[in-house]
Amino acid sequence: MNKLFSIGFWSAVARFILRNRPLILIVIAAITVVLALQWKNMRFTYTEANLLPDEHEINVEYNKFLQEFGEEGNLIILGVKDTSIFDPVLFKKWHDLSKKIKDFDEIDVTLSIGDLHKLEKREDTTAFKLVPLIQDTVYTKEQLDRYQYELFHKLPFYKGLVYSPNKQSIRTAVYIKKDVVNTPARKDFIINDLIPLVDSFERETGLRVYTSGMPYIRTLNSQNIIDEIGMFIGAALIVTSLIFFFFFRSFRATIISMLTVIIGVMWAFGILGLLHYEITVLTALIPPLIIVIGIPNCIFLINKYQQEIKLHGNQAKSLQRVITKVGNATLMTNLTTASGFATFILTNSKLLKEFGIVASLNILVIFLLSLFIIPIVYSYMPTPKYKHLKHLNKRWISRFVSWMERMVKEHRVAIYVCAVLLLSISIIGIYNIRISGSIIEDMPKKTEFFADIKFFEKEYEGIMPLEILIDTKRKKGVMKLATLKRMDELQNYIEEIPEFSEPLSVVELVKYSKQAYYNNNPEYYQIPNSQERTFLLSYAKSSTDNTRFLSNYVDSTGQYARITTFMKDTKAGRFERIEEDLLDEISKIFPEDRYEVSLTGKALVFQKGTKYLVNNLILSLSLAIFLIALFMAWMFRNLKMIIVSLIPNLLPLIITAGLMGFIGVPIKPSTILVFSIAFGISVDDTIHFLAKYRQELIANHWKIRKSVYASLRETGISMFYTSIVLFFGFSVFATSSFGGTVALGILISITLLFAMLANLLLLPSLLLSLERSIANKETMKKPALKIFTDNELDNDQEEFEDD
């Protein structure tokens, strides 16, 4: 691998690029066209992100549940909180809305107040019949008043299904066909059919309709992701180009850089399509990430080119030095950045694995594009004039570099005190960090559908489905009275948990059967006793052909039953306590030798996924630190240099973690990404500085102080430029409507800002303080990574020109 960083290798690379300019441009154009043709294969996700590996026990239980009862998240609910809904005109319009929705091919069944039925005992046989609650097609006020009273006060079966427990709102349940719910047809129905119908109803009646349910939430959430991709790309291009132009004051340099990163974005979309990966909330960040990470490559290459032109004015020599001198170090910095993203591949989470693969691959791609395009394009252009180089002499830049040099020279103790103080305060903040497992926390809070989620959470005591799967271990075991009583006991316990809604199961049908047998007296809405068991259960079983309710809660063999409840947005710590208490109660109610009971459902899968993800990402961050430490060991072959290089990059991570604790930003899938990404990027500045430091040591005959200050003056400008671009580039994500994306952008920006200061102030200070023990000829003279001296490059340049 040493050959990869030898002067001969990079000279050969420079010769290849500059001698094959037309061919390289044609190849880049051809690849761009081929990858653009892959855009048609990009797919947007139609399911929730499953953060757990397929073989995880929680996923195994969930898949077992799906095998027995099919997709659970196929319910859309429409709600109204207005007593005027029982006005004849409004009632008819509400009922008509339900009928229109039911007529769509994507819909399995709807349940609305206009088409409810009640059980009545048949006289001719031991069975019940379903009788419409409203039999007239023309509604009157008196009739609807009686109907409302009967529904709210005599039919507890429909509580939580059609009307809220507080009897203040009603809702229509819309069940999408299970084979449609995870397909593009779901999106087409919701966006093109359902939403326009609801909007039309609201305009005609003046009533506010609240719409929610997992299919609806997922669809609008995905639509927001799609809408924000273009916004992020546009904002990232505008922000980075403005900052770039402010620094270089050159339209030519700005246009060349923008062209480079735009091609990188086109390739990023093409790679996503080529690999047939879905566009998720994470992969949607990759194109703007490529812009933000690609621009620093352009800055280092263009800045070095202009410095060389200013030094000697020879364009060919300048381009050759740019490729040989900067390309060498930039490759390593891009490798370390890519390794920060690549650690996500090891998380066993499909979502993060795909993100890690595409991000790390595209970071290397944007490096190659920068290395090829910028020197080639400049080779066809005239030599930069003095006006293009004036930014190198800006007074404020000179003052900033002088300030850094003065701080390192005269105030090292103050730098160390500030670092230790920030470290101590941050450690206190870290102890205040909490873990969040909320499904809805990162959703756009200013959107209407988020307000609708909170409405149903308040009125119906939950929105996220939690399932309890009961295996009686024998066929027809569910309808045994002993099983039903155990289920009822468990449901009574669940009702006492404030975070859960009233549960639904076959128990409700059995209770309703008893009520129907006793002439629909609501006082008899209860589990039958042992004397009533035989004839009432025969009635209930005989009636199941007339209702679809039983098939949703008992499998065809009668061996498996489900209890469904809906959970409020609950903090991870509270959920863990609820889960522990619930499992303890289940073990008391259901003997393990006769029943097998498990918790599952989307809410549980997400909660467990978050915890699993946090644990794995801590490991991935540790791996990233270890890998980059190996890079440093390979480059500098000095243990103390490894420690010195890691300190300025670990300190900003600790400060950011402490800040999260103080301001209440929880650890969640979005924010845990901050540390691996920021570490991989921030270490780039360290590599650039230390590589230049090593070069200056040789040039200045191992004079430590002179080498440190010379390195600070030359690399400080580029490090400042790139850090500012990265800071504002990642700040673009703060414009997102997704809380997690906002936190990701702001936290990475803050981390990189602290990393810049650490690399410009703390790193040189450490080198000066530890000069005797670090800088010795044995360990620094022949490191693996070389930034070649001018004499070496001049000798190679002569060979290059002779060839």
Q: What Rg value do the Cα atoms of the chain yield, rounded?
A: 33
pLDDT at 506 over 50: yes
- pLDDT attached to residue 549: 60
pLDDT band, very low/low/confident/very high, at 772 (cuts 50, 70, 90) = low
pTM, 2 dp: 0.76
Average pLDDT over residues 518-525: 87
User: Closest Cα to residue 193, out of 214, 211, 169, 170?
Assistant: 211
Higher pLDDT, 438 or 222: 222
DSSP 618-648: HHHHHHHHHHHHHHHHHHH--HHHHHHHHHH
Higher pLDDT, 395 or 471: 471
Query: pLDDT tens, 692-709?
Result: 777 777 777 777 778 888
pLDDT at 644 over 90: no
pLDDT at 545 over 50: no
Q: Which amino acid is at 383?
A: T
Nearest-angstrom CA–CA distance, 379 and 180: 56
Average pLDDT over residues 523-536: 79
Q: Which residues lie across from 565 on neighbouring strands?
A: 466
User: Closest Cα to residue 299, out of 238, 374, 376?
Assistant: 374
Q: Is 440 helix (H, G, I), strand (E, B) or coil?
A: coil
Q: Which two tokens stand for residue 481?
A: 């009275």
Nearest-angstrom CA–CA distance, 652 and 319: 35
- Across 61-75, 112-126, 423-437, 787-801, the highest mean pLDDT is recorded for 423-437
What is the helix (H) or strand (E) element at residue 15, kind and residue range?
helix 7-19
pLDDT at 301 over 70: yes
Nearest-angstrom CA–CA distance, 718 and 760: 11
Average pLDDT over residues 740-746: 82
Higher pLDDT, 53 or 523: 523
User: Closest Cα to residue 294, out of 183, 371, 347?
Assistant: 371
**Mean pLDDT, the chain, as a whole number?**
81
Q: Which amino acid is at 721?
A: Y
pLDDT at 543 over 60: no
pLDDT at 778 over 60: no
Average pLDDT over residues 274-291: 81
Average pLDDT over residues 660-678: 79
pLDDT at 508 over 80: yes
Pairing of strands 278-279, 43-44: parallel
- pLDDT attached to residue 487: 93
Average pLDDT over residues 51-57: 77
- pLDDT attached to residue 538: 64
Average pLDDT over residues 60-71: 81
Higher pLDDT, 762 or 615: 762
Query: pLDDT tens, 332-380?
Result: 778 878 887 887 787 777 777 888 899 899 999 999 999 999 889 888 8
- pLDDT attached to residue 324: 81
Residues in the chain: 803
- pLDDT attached to residue 774: 59
Q: Which two tokens stand for residue 779?
A: 């360990």
pLDDT band, very low/low/confident/very high, at 161 (cuts 50, 70, 90) = confident
pLDDT at 37 over 50: yes
Query: pLDDT tens, 68-93?
Result: 777 667 888 899 988 788 888 998 89
Percent of the chain with pLDDT over 90: 12
